[in-house]
Amino acid sequence: MAEKLLIIDDDVDTLRLVGLMLQRQGYQISAASNGAQGLAKALEERPDLILLDVMMPDMDGYEVARRLRKNPATRTVPILMFTAKTQLDDKVTGFEVGADDYLTKPTHPTELQAHVKALLARAVQKEKAAGEAVTATHEHHGYVIGVISARGGLGVTSLAVNLAAAIFSRVQTDVILAELMPGLGTVGLDYGYQNPKGLTELLEGTVAEITREKVGDSLLPHSSGVKFLLASSNPRDMTLIAHEKKYEALVGRLASSGRFLVLDLGNGLPAFVQKILPMCNECIVVTEGVASSIQHTGFLIENIVSLPVDPRKVNVVLNNRMRSESQMQMAQVQEKLGHSIAATLTPAPEAFSQATRMQTPAVICQPTNITSQQIIKLADSIIEREKSK
At 151, the amino acid letter reads R
Q: Half-sphere exposure of 45 toward its Cβ, with a 13 Å CA cutoff?
A: 20
Q: What percent of the chain has pLDDT over 70?
A: 94
Low-confidence ranges of the chain (pLDDT < 70): 1, 85-89, 128-140, 322-326
Q: Which fold has domain 4-134?
A: Rossmann fold (3.40.50)
Is there a contact between 134 and 59 (Cβ–Cβ < 8 Å)? no
At 13 the pLDDT is 86
Q: For residue 299, give the nearest of 269, 340, 332, 322 by alpha carbon.
A: 269
pTM: 0.67
Other C-beta atoms closer than 10 Å to the C-beta of 385 total 14
At 125 the pLDDT is 79
The listed CATH number (3.40.50.720, 1.10.3720.10, 3.30.1330.40, 3.40.50.300) that belongs to domain 140-387 = 3.40.50.300
At 216 the pLDDT is 93
Residues 173 and 386: their CA atoms lie apart, in Å, by 13
SS3 readout for the chain: CCCEEEEECCCHHHHHHHHHHHHCCCCEEEEECCHHHHHHHHHHHCCCEEEEECCCCCCCHHHHHHHHHHCCCCCCCCEEEEECCCCHHHHHHHHHCCCCEEEECCCCHHHHHHHHHHHHHHHHHHHHHHHHHHHHCCCCCCEEEEEEECCCCCCHHHHHHHHHHHHHHHHCCCEEEEECCCCCCCHHHHCCCCCCCHHHHHHHCCHHHCCHHHHHHHCEECCCCCEEECCCCCHHHHHHHHCHHHHHHHHHHHHCCCCEEEEEEEECCCHHHHHHHHHCCEEEEEECCCHHHHHHHHHHHHHHHCCCCCHHHEEEEEECCCCCCCCCCHHHHHHHHCCCEEEEECCCHHHHHHHHHCCCCHHHHCCCCHHHHHHHHHHHHHHHHHHCC
Taking CA atoms, 374 is separated from 157, 169, 335, 380, in Å, by 16, 14, 22, 10
At 324 the pLDDT is 63
Instruction: Kindly report, residue by residue over 124-163, the tens digit of the pLDDT.
Output: 877 766 555 444 444 468 999 999 999 998 999 999 999 9
At 140 the pLDDT is 61
At 87 the pLDDT is 62
Q: Where are the domains of the chain?
A: 4-134, 140-387
At 170 the pLDDT is 95
At 136 the pLDDT is 43
Q: Which residues pair with 345 in a beta bridge?
A: 319
Q: For the CA atoms of 29, 31, 35, 40, what is the dihedral angle to 10 degrees?
A: -70
Q: For residue 215, give the nearest of 185, 242, 247 by alpha carbon.
A: 247
Residue 278: what are its φ and ψ, rounded to 5°?
Answer: -65, -15
Other C-beta atoms closer than 10 Å to the C-beta of 14 total 17
